[in-house]
Structure 1
Amino acid sequence: MDNARVSIVILNWNGWEDTIECLESLFQINYPNFDVILVDNASGDDSLEKIKKYCSGNLKVESGFFKYNPENKPINLLEYTKEFDDPKVHMKKENTNRDQLILIKNDKNVGFPGGNNIGMKFALKFFNPDYILLLNNDTVVEKNFLGELVRNGDSEGDIGILGPKIYFYDKPNIIWSSGCEISWKLSRGIQIGTNELDNGQYDTKKQVEYVSGSAFLIKSEVIKKIGLMDENYFLYFEESDWTLRTNKRGYNTLYVPQSKIWHKISRSGGGISNPIGLYYITRNRWIFMNKWASNKDYIIFIIYQIISAIIFPIFLSIYYANLKLFKAYYFGLFDAIHYITFKTSRNSIK
């Protein structure tokens, strides 16, 4: 496939500073055939105004990863609601890469899978891309990152999903992820190579269980077969679920170390140190394990959760000096049990 078309979907929620740095790095890559769709998840700050100012060329981006380029401004900004019923997009199916940004404005926060699904629906409807790349707004990309991913995707027919080598943004030579694997015993995803200095130990491409949702390239043919991401997750575990659904259709996942990006890590959800992050991690871990774990691993998971249900939230509340974490954990636990009991059955969703 010669210069396959790629639609890049980025989700913004109260993070315009990260977003415009990500956009500026994207508009400087050397891949010739891509478009960018930015979905704003009902930001409560001045994100929309700042993004418009950036596109007009009146807001310079400072970064240690690249030199700001004023020559590619202004960027043509086309704005839509989530219904995107304005017909002007029908005239813009040609290669738009560096001169256009699609901005879709949601009227409420529909979460990570919900926001990305809206962007993907737009891409599939109007651009018919060969690939869709989900890219976190708190990332910065290397110039050839997309070309390396696409080249490997084109050359291997059984590959449905690809991901790059990811470094910490504030520690540019330290690896955050060289692909991911699922620990069924710990009921969590594990980033391969995290916190290791990059000495070339992960420079060989290989098939992995899944790749981080912060930079997730998927073939459009896969999406058409398995559908979009499960919006019930809202935040966390959605890319793992999506990958396992992909695997069931015979596709594999490839880690491509020649493709490189830098990631600021948990800028929106905050992980277990943030009540929102802890709530969804707790809730979605149960939903994911109920859906995908073997009977043996699921029993072990339940036993482990019963034992840690008292110790873990107390420890987190003390360690992070935040009593809201205690409440967030139990809200997540109770909502997970309610969801599993009344909305799904283990046999019906496996």
Structure 2
Amino acid sequence: MNKLPLVSVIIPTYRRKEKLRRLLDSLLESDYPKNKMEIIVVVDADGEDYNDLVQEFPRVKFIFNEKEKLVAESRNIGIRHSTGDYIFVIDDDNVIDKKCIWELVKFMEDKPTVGIAGPIMYYYRDPHRVWCAGVKRNYYTSLTKFVGKNEIDIGQFSEPIPSEDFPNAFMIKRKVIHSVGYFDSRNFPIHYEEADFCKRASLKGYEIYTIPSAKVWHDIPINRKGRLDNEMRVYYAARNRIIFHKKYSKWWQFLIFILIFNWAITLYYLFVIMASSEKPIIGRVRLAVRYLQGIKEGILWKEA
């Protein structure tokens, strides 16, 4: 038992106290030994009072950002304050299975070439329906496929699944951080930050897998089609898609993407934004303008 590695759980959070409480409860019910797990919550300057949670969870370390840093830098802050051999990054709107951390650590300890591993992620509101069992990216179209999305798991997911990256929840060996650095919070403060980090790790030779015996449940609406209700999010979604493929696509792949598929995707999202009935017309126009600003900034972006 003393030889088990220490796992640092890093949770960025912003104005979701009840979901955070639920995640913390599930972590403390984990089968992984409590003395081999440290939990660090990074509160991203959301103005909420967390005294009740601080008192309720004395084993949890809370860090409060004085200014909003967004998700990538909040994760980096948590990692810098951590001491674990493994770093389990997870968003606050999840619940983990009791065996999740055990299963990830067990797999990664046996596989020295694996640098990152993640659980299968299910919908919290439909516990057997898969949200994501890994990621595959098309470098011509930029379209991202979540492996197994919306499939009902009846046992077909049994073997480790190679993945390009993960949203939401995954475990990293400390040596990967030493090798590739932290999340790129300057270029990818939100959106594509996980994709960029995992891509840098894979280019260094680290393998990435989904482990079906490790499970989490993600509390998001079923069949949600992106986050198109927030000006900051639509800006970075548009901008960072282009930056990511400018960095990692072959030149001919990027040429096909930027000349054809980028504009097809842009027209699709502008249509979705303007057709929405959830915001008044002026709000939809502002979202559309921010999306187009993101496209412009992505095209003009040059790596420093």
Describe how 1:172-211 pairs up with structure 2 within 5 A. Answer: 172-211=127-166
Q: Deviations over 1:288-336 (max 9, x none)?
A: 0110001121011111256437633431223323413212211211222
Aligned-pair CA distance for 1:234: 1.0
| 2:141–2:261 contact (8 Å) kept in structure 1 | no
Residue 142 (1) aligns with residue 97 (2): yes
Aligned residue in 1 for 2:275: 319
2:65 to 106, 111, 118: 106
Describe how 1:8-27 pairs up with structure 2 within 5 A. Answer: 8-27=9-28
Aligned residue in 1 for 2:300: 338
Aligned residue in 2 for 1:229: 183
| 2:228–2:273 contact (8 Å) kept in structure 1 | no
Q: State, as a whole percentage, how many aligned pairs show the same letter.
A: 29
Structure 2 distance, partners of 1:250, 1:222, is 10
Q: Deviations over 1:134-183 (max 9, x none)?
A: 01100000101000000000000100000001001111110001111112
Aligned residue pairs total 291
| 1:316–1:325 contact (8 Å) kept in structure 2 | no
Structure 2 distance, partners of 1:40, 1:330, is 30
Structure 2 distance, partners of 1:306, 1:187, is 8
Provide the TM-score with structure 1 as the length reference: 0.78
- SS of 1:221's partner is helix
Aligned-pair CA distance for 1:198: 1.0
Structure 1 gap segments, 5+ residues each: 58-74, 77-99, 346-350
| 2:101–2:214 contact (8 Å) kept in structure 1 | yes
Structure 1 distance, partners of 2:271, 2:156, is 35
Aligned residue in 1 for 2:53: 54
Amino acid at match of 1:111: L
Structure 2 distance, partners of 1:309, 1:158, is 36
User: Does the C-alpha gap of structure 1 residues 6 and 309 become closer, same or farther in structure 2, counting only changes over 3 Å?
Assistant: closer
Aligned residue in 2 for 1:116: 75
| 1:113–1:229 contact (8 Å) kept in structure 2 | yes
- SS of 2:126's partner is coil
Amino acid at match of 2:22: E
Q: Deviations over 1:230-271 (max 9, x none)?
A: 0121111111111111112111001100000000238xxx62
- SS of 1:271's partner is coil
Aligned-pair CA distance for 1:203: 2.0
Aligned-pair CA distance for 1:337: 2.7
- SS of 1:209's partner is coil
- SS of 2:41's partner is strand
Provide the TM-score with structure 2 as the length reference: 0.90
| 2:274–2:288 contact (8 Å) kept in structure 1 | no
RMSD value over aligned CA atoms? 2.0
